[in-house]
Structure 1
């Protein structure tokens, strides 16, 4: 089962989802603005992407004013709380294709990752 973790508030997330749906592959789409992701799931995602959880957060769009000191170092648990309380700060949608994890930086990247969906097409008929 292929998966996408995305924010429906993100244009790149919505476009990537559209590409995936158009591919007609089995897909579980998880809109993190509607579905909370557990800390364990965030850790697994980060681990499979070979990044730390804070690298999943767009720090430019994250409002640090909730913290007294802007130089504060947030723990892994803090970053998970940030993602769950403000899911729109997810940097890029995360796609899992055949158990391989990808952060999609540009929605057109997904095209390169998807196999052509020509199953069931009679090639001779269209020549």
Structure 2
């Protein structure tokens, strides 16, 4: 097989071979990861929009692929609750290499350094 590559000056995404060849991920998950990494920061993509833009995979297939990415550490979701308003939202982070540790939870409403409700103790000081 001969591989032909075009030199690009702009509007392209670089991915590590290890990411593209990660055997824990299906080809669908790898394609979705490449697509997500090609988007600008603060892009809004979810399972529904990904499925709508990629006919033939369907929401169930996209959902399964996103779960693969999450399980492998490429896709991280963090739920945040505003202590004043009680509003809850989810922040999503996409990485080009798998992350070993989860993101820290948003600050809880309990007293610091206790196990009261609202406080999450993380075993990894890196996220402290």
- Higher-Rg member (1/2): 2
Q: Which has the higher helix share?
A: 1
Structure 1 length normalisation: TM-score? Answer: 0.26
The structure showing larger relative contact order (alpha-carbon pairs under 8 Å, at least 6 residues apart) is 1
Structure 2 length normalisation: TM-score? Answer: 0.25
